[in-house]
């Protein structure tokens, strides 16, 4: 199944490029393409120099040569059923509610074509999916990051997919998360209302748009409440906690929203590999203190989910406890 469009990039080589290997030149010219990717495209006959196919990555660039690189549309692998255990909370003909463990990717994508929640659901729901969008597949109406654990709902029928999608779009679904953070928020309770866009410095990260008048990114709202504060942060005024447990309730569902918002107000999620890297962050005590645990993923857990069943119209609400790794970190925090 094609995903995206074929792309052709054309350039006329300048004097400064003369004599440079063509794969190095193109990698320098187009930093979004790795040399390995460029070499693979050359080997596949996707490069033309002065309208002649070139397959050698060692070819030297000549001044004023016309270089045309064709990048085929990426092909998305068709997910296959895989026998992966699932912790099911509720299931009927239309939907399934489950606990996603940390480390499990929701949907197949580059780098994770197998071993995902979708692969597991295709196996678990074999023969009971009604063909969402004309294809027998589970309907993913919301996602949790790979490193985030917690409760999720997935549609099994077209009616459930459409009904749940409308509820998520209208922001009527109740979603609450527990986050263990470095430091604590001030004030202890409030709303974070910003726009979130892709970071201009790192395309894999999201960032708060600093200009309040900018229309970049998407509107994001997180309501937070500090449930517990632990310890005293060294070098800070009395009452500044070393760590905290924060409840976050979403009004919107943007990529990495809670992680970005909590880092924005100065209390990043503990062990967040993307938004929490700074000195003294990985552990709450000295670096040589072996009693201070790390959990090797962001300490974020979706613990509540509530919605109206899109077919039976029953009000459903689910609440799940912290998994053992986060509970162990919370137990340590309580000892501070």
Whether 216 maps to a domain, the answer reads yes
- Indicate whether 186 and 326 sit together in one domain: yes
What pLDDT, on the 0 to 100 scale, is given for residue 156? 92
- Indicate whether 95 and 57 sit together in one domain: no
- Indicate whether 114 and 250 sit together in one domain: no
- Indicate whether 163 and 210 sit together in one domain: no
Average pLDDT, the chain: 87
Please state, in angstroms and rounded to a whole number, the distance separating the CA atoms of residues 268 and 298. 9
Please state, in angstroms and rounded to a whole number, the distance separating the CA atoms of residues 20 and 261. 45
pTM: 0.75
The closest of 318, 277, 297 to 180, measured between CA atoms, is 297
- Indicate whether 53 and 135 sit together in one domain: no
What pLDDT, on the 0 to 100 scale, is given for residue 306? 97
Structure tokens at 194: 């910003």
pLDDT at 328 over 60: yes
In Å, the largest CA–CA distance within the chain is: 72
Tell which of 18, 43, 71 closes a domain.
71
**Once rounded to an integer, what is the mean pLDDT over residues 141-169?**
93
- Indicate whether 224 and 319 sit together in one domain: yes
What is the sign, positive or negative, of the torsion defined by CA atoms of 85, 175, 135, 3? negative
Helices (H), the chain: 22-29, 35-43, 117-124, 158-169, 257-264, 324-334
Contact call for residues 215 and 183 (beta carbons, < 8 A): no
What pLDDT, on the 0 to 100 scale, is given for residue 283? 53
Q: Could you read off the pLDDT of 206-222 as tens digits, one per residue?
A: 999 988 777 788 999 99
Tell which of 139, 170, 201 closes a domain.
170
pLDDT band at 281; cut points 50, 70, 90: very low
- Indicate whether 154 and 179 sit together in one domain: no
Tell which of 146, 170, 194 closes a domain.
170
Residues spanned by the domain of 128: 87-170
145 annotated active-site: yes
Contact call for residues 138 and 129 (beta carbons, < 8 A): yes
**Once rounded to an integer, what is the mean pLDDT over residues 29-34?**
82
- Indicate whether 298 and 220 sit together in one domain: yes
Question: Which residue in the list 23, 145, 271, 272 is annotated as catalytic?
Answer: 145
The values of phi and psi at residue 68, to 5°, are -125, 115
pLDDT at 71 over 70: yes
Cα–Cα distances (Å) from 26 to 18, 47, 160, 203, in that order, read 13, 11, 48, 20
Please state, in angstroms and rounded to a whole number, the distance separating the CA atoms of residues 180 and 102. 15
Instruction: Please give the tally of structural domains in the chain.
Output: 3
- Indicate whether 181 and 315 sit together in one domain: yes
Please state, in angstroms and rounded to a whole number, the distance separating the CA atoms of residues 275 and 280. 14
- Indicate whether 278 and 230 sit together in one domain: yes
Contact call for residues 176 and 227 (beta carbons, < 8 A): no
Q: Could you read off the pLDDT of 287-319 as tens digits, one per residue?
A: 446 666 778 899 999 999 999 999 999 999 999
Structure tokens at 5: 């469009």
- Indicate whether 160 and 218 sit together in one domain: no
Compute the residue count for the chain.
336
Whether 235 maps to a domain, the answer reads yes
Whether 80 maps to a domain, the answer reads no
The domain that holds 30 is classified in CATH as 3.10.290.10
- Indicate whether 259 and 241 sit together in one domain: yes
């Amino acid at each position: 199944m094609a995903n995206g469009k074929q792309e052709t990039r054309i350039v006329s080589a300048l004097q400064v490029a003369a004599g440079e290997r063509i794969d190095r030149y193109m990698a320098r010219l187009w930093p979004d393409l790795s040399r390995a990717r460029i070499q693979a495209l050359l080997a596949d006959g996707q490069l033309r120099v002065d309208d002649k196919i070139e397959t050698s990555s060692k070819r030297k660039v000549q001044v004023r040569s016309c270089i045309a690189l064709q990048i085929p549309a990426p092909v998305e692998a068709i997910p296959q059923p895989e026998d992966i255990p699932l912790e099911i909370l509720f299931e009927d003909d239309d939907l399934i509610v489950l606990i996603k463990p940390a480390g499990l990717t929701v949907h197949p994508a580059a780098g994770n074509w197998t071993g995902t929640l979708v692969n597991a659901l295709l196996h678990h729901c074999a023969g009971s999916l009604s063909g969402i969008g004309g294809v027998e597949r589970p309907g993913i109406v919301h996602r949790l990051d790979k490193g985030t654990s917690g409760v999720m709902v997935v549609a099994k029928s077209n009616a459930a997919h459409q009904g749940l999608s409308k509820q998520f779009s209208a922001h009527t679904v109740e979603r609450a998360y527990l986050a263990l953070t470095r430091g604590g928020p001030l004030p202890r309770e409030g709303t974070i209302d910003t726009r979130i866009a892709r970071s201009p410095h790192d395309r894999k990260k999201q960032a708060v748009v600093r200009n309040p008048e900018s229309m970049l990114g998407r509107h994001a709202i997180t309501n937070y409440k500090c449930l517990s504060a632990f310890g005293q942060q060294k070098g800070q005024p009395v009452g500044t906690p070393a760590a905290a447990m924060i409840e976050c309730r979403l009004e919107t569902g943007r990529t990495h929203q809670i992680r970005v918002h909590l880092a924005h107000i100065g209390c990043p999620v503990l062990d967040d590999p993307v938004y929490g890297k700074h000195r003294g962050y990985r552990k709450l005590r000295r670096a040589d203190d072996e009693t201070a645990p790390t959990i090797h993923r962001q300490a974020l857990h979706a613990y509540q989910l509530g919605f109206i069943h899109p077919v039976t119209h029953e009000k459903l609400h689910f609440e799940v406890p912290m998994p053992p790794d986060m509970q162990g970190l919370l137990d340590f925090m309580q000892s501070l």
